[in-house]
Amino acid sequence: MATTAAAAFFAMSVPPKAQAFYGDDHALIVRAALPLVQSSPDDGVDATALNQIIGSLLDGTGTRGADLFQFDAFRHIDSAASPAEICVLVAEAWDFYIPQVIRGAAPAGPPDFRLLSNGPQARSAFGGLAHALADFYSHSNWIELAIAANLRPGLAPIFPTCDDGFLAGVHTGYFNPMSGVDGCPSTALGGEPDPPERFEECHLTLNKDTAHSLRGDAPVPGMSPMTHYDLARALATRHTTELYWLVRSIVARSFSSEDLDGECVARNLFQADRFEPCAVHNDRIRGAVGERCSTTLVGVDVNTGEYIVCVYSREYRPDGVWVTGNIVGVHNIGEPCDPKIDKASQTPDYIPILCVVDQGWQPGP
């Protein structure tokens, strides 16, 4: 929720220690929202992953690092004058961060696939997305609209999609770091905040980023002593938990296949020190092309991750030698096949099979 320009403003108007707390809010939200590995051994987040999700303002990573990019409205859902404009920013944030999560989470290191292509980047991107989500609650009038309608504020229908029809009347405050430390033009030097025509409010007067901001400090009518800041933070925390389960399921689905356990990939993503083998059938026999073997089953090449078959070898007699099997798909013995297209395959029990004319799939070679 912090913005450096606004932080500078508050540094002038509140005791210095508020500024440090201010910068920690996003980290506190993520810490409170995500289940930890100590209580959820499979579904929780470990300390290394949590640190990468939180990130740092110094290198622009994670939920903290988003504040390094004050000019990117989508990272903070800033300066959206209408529901449609909010949805544009929500879509921008989703389309910016989710591909980074998926790219970074891509399993690596065949044949076990214990590794991710770029775990730190994927976790940092998740933190950035969580930042944008949290900022929606502190930068918009979502809470105020619900209270004005005598409703208990709930979670907004944003991420993964955004329907501006459900956000009627919602806007965020105008914020532009070019307009001085508070990000808002004023009527005169030191005068009243005066946003550009399209905007109803400035970020300065609308934000609930801290307990010391103008709106954040105000008690919520009917919910005293809760302040707008307290409520924005509570909703952001609840929604961040939901975002976590959503992103986990997207990662799991993205990488689930005949050969990979997508849930395992999600566990390795959110537990940076886990390194669980995500290859399905990791009870496979391991070998390497050209090396000695003695099995009748299809194995996996430890260097390439490819399926290999143990065949007769004069050199290693009575053992065999691993060769590339050109194994495609999984079939049962006796199942029909087309010798023009089908060559070698394997049964669900890893028995190598060949497509034989008029006989279908048969054990071999």
Q: Give me the residues that bind Zn ion (CB under 5 A), please.
A: 76, 135
| Residue 238 beta carbon to Zn ion: minimum distance, rounded to whole angstroms | 18
Q: Which amino acid is at 274?
A: R
**Smaller CB separation from Zn ion, 131 or 331:** 131
Burial 168-205 (b: 16+ CB within 10 A, else e): eebbbbbbbeebebbbbbbeeeeeebebeeebebbbbb
Of 60 and 305, nearer to Zn ion (C-beta) is 60
Residue nearest to Zn ion (CB): 76
Choice between 209 and 342, CB closer to Zn ion: 209
Among candidate residues 239, 277, 270, the one with its CA nearest the CA of residue 41: 270
253, amino acid identity = R
To Zn ion, the closest distance from the beta carbon of 67 in angstroms equals: 6
Smallest distance, Zn ion to C-beta of residue 131, A: 6
Whole-angstrom CA distances from 22 to 62, 165, 285, 317 are: 16, 33, 54, 72
Could you tell me the two tokens for 258? 């005949």
Closer to Zn ion at the Cβ: 52 or 172?
172
- Between 76 and 208, whose beta carbon lies closer to Zn ion? 76
Question: Judged by CB, which is closer to Zn ion: 203, or 248?
Answer: 203
Instruction: Give every CB contact of residue 86 below 8 A, 6+ residues apart in sequence.
Output: 77, 80, 136, 140, 158, 162, 164, 167, 170, 171, 172
Q: Phi and psi for 170 in degrees, rounded to 5?
A: -85, 135
Do residues 171 and 143 make contact, with C-beta atoms less than 8 angstroms apart?
no
**Is 264:278 a contact under the CB 8 Å cutoff?**
yes
Q: Least CB distance from residue 55 to Zn ion, whole Å? A: 13
CB of 170 to Zn ion, least distance (A): 17
Residue 229's CB is within 10 A of a number of other CB atoms, namely 23
**Smaller CB distance to Zn ion: residue 239 or 331?**
239
Nearer to Zn ion, 129 or 265 (CB): 129
Please report how close the Cβ of residue 134 comes to Zn ion at its closest, in angstroms: 8
Write down the least CB distance from residue 234 to Zn ion, Å.
Answer: 18
C-alpha–C-alpha distance, residues 301 and 308, integer Å: 6
> Least CB distance from residue 77 to Zn ion, whole Å?
8
Give the pair of three-digit tokens for residue 110. Answer: 């065949």
